[in-house]
Amino acid sequence: MTHTPAKRPWYRPMVARQPDEPHRASTPLELFFDLCFVVAVAQAAAQLHHDVAEDHLLHAVPSYLMVFFAIWWAWMNFTWFASAYDTDDDVYRITTLVQITGALVLAAGVPRAFADADFTVITIGYVIMRLALVAQWLRVARTDLHPGRRACGRRYAIAITIIQVGWVLRLALPDSLLVPGLLVLVLAEIAVPIWAERVAETTWHPEHIAERYGLFTIIVLGESILAASVALQSAVDEHEELGGLLWIGGAGVVIVFAMWWLYFDRPASGLLTSMRVSLFWGYGHYLIFSSAAAVGAGLAVAVDHETHKAHLGGVGVGYAVAVPVAVYLLSVWVLHIRPHQQGLIVVAYPVAAALTLLAPLTPAPVPAVAVAVAALVAVTVVAAHLESRPSAGTR
């Protein structure tokens, strides 16, 4: 007797999935979504690397933060929506692929945004992603069995659509109003979930959300390794003196490995205890994702400086690595450590961040940053072993 696989429907009602659903793991479509989105992350990091190496800091940092917001916000909204309403029917898959297409369009516009402050292509890609999500929310508004969640879906669809009109109209604003217009639209985007969820909270799966964020953190850290490796390979091919490059390469590996260790040192799913806490945790990952990608750009700048291609001074090069690492450490501390831990480990994170910011004042800033984060990993390992040791009263 042969087994006939179940046929996937082309359309099914969007009924909220249960938050305690067992064995809820990321799907192949979600993983594909992440891999395509990291193309845009890589483009943003590459342009940041180029501008920082040219000492265009006042242009590089705001441009990077604006571009990364579009990437992160679209990714995060899909992630939480999928946790609640992944039906895996044909319409859902096609709509998700449209979102991925928007991410690729956005990635294609990143160089022009950095070079000419022209956000037209990025805006088109972003609007494609967001309107595809509107189509999904309209399905929720039509088919969810819960009246409150249907109303929530309508709120999401209406608010997101109005804001996308605002993004398109922003392209016609005079230069003096572009930044104020951006800030207004960003605040409006961030406020949408807070407003929509007031009528009824959508369901979400804590383990699934924690896994999705963790997987994207891994992908972004991998992109940093790749960016630094490509810069190092190019430098090695062109120069015979490899001593300084090897130090940067080795220190860069230690830094990224330590960043991975610190993020995954303790499971995050238990932290997501309410919608309010989860929103803060989810929003806070903007800093984790953007700083993790920026570390790769900083390491590439350090390689350029070693090969005399960068126009940035030695201290500035050190801070190109130290600042994103410090932001990453403090973000992990705020989201994962400070509210839920006690003792030495709570103090160790800000101390390590402070030492990281002092590292550029040393003769070897990148290795000094590596020492600081490696020491922090050592502290977390010791703290974990002390916590697991049985007390005298339980022996």
Task: Identify the top-confidence range among 120-124, 201-205, 312-316, 334-338.
Answer: 120-124
Residue 79, number of CB atoms within 10 A of its CB:
22
Read off the pLDDT of residues 57-91 as tens digits, 9 standing for 90 and up: 888 899 999 999 999 999 999 999 999 998 888 99
Residue 186, number of CB atoms within 10 A of its CB:
15
- CATH code 1.20.1410 region(s) in the chain: 206-390
HSE toward the beta carbon, residue 212, CA cutoff 13 A: 28
Residue 10, number of CB atoms within 10 A of its CB:
11
Average pLDDT value for residue range 278-292 = 92
Q: Considering the chain, what is the average pLDDT of its residues?
A: 88
Residue-wise DSSP of 69-117: HHHHHHHHHHHHHHHHH----HHHHHHHHHHHHHHHHHHHHHHHHHHH-
Q: So what's the pLDDT on residue 393?
A: 47
More confident residue, 59 or 131: 131
% of the chain at pLDDT higher than 70: 94
Q: So what's the pLDDT on residue 106?
A: 93
Q: Is 15 left (phi over 0), alpha (psi -120 to 50) or beta?
A: beta
Q: So what's the pLDDT on residue 392?
A: 44
Question: Per-residue pLDDT for 42 more than 70?
Answer: yes
Average pLDDT value for residue range 10-27 = 82
Q: What is the chain's alpha carbon radius of gyration, rounded to the nearest angstrom?
A: 22
Q: So what's the pLDDT on residue 267?
A: 79
More confident residue, 5 or 339: 339
Sign (positive/negative) of CA torsion 318, 249, 331, 338?
A: negative
Average pLDDT value for residue range 134-155 = 93
Residue 154, number of CB atoms within 10 A of its CB:
17
Return d(Cα 130, Cα 73) in angstroms, integer: 10
Contact 189, 77 (CB under 8 A): no
Q: So what's the pLDDT on residue 121?
A: 95
Read off the pLDDT of residues 296-332 as tens digits, 9 standing for 90 and up: 999 999 988 888 888 888 899 999 999 999 999 999 9
Phi, psi (rounded to 5 degrees) for 324: -65, -35
Contact 373, 325 (CB under 8 A): yes
Confidence label for 15 from pLDDT (cuts 50, 70 and 90): confident
Average pLDDT value for residue range 331-351 = 87
Kindly report which listed range (70-74, 187-191, 338-342, 371-375) carries the lowest average pLDDT score: 338-342
Q: Which CATH class is domain 206-390?
A: mainly alpha
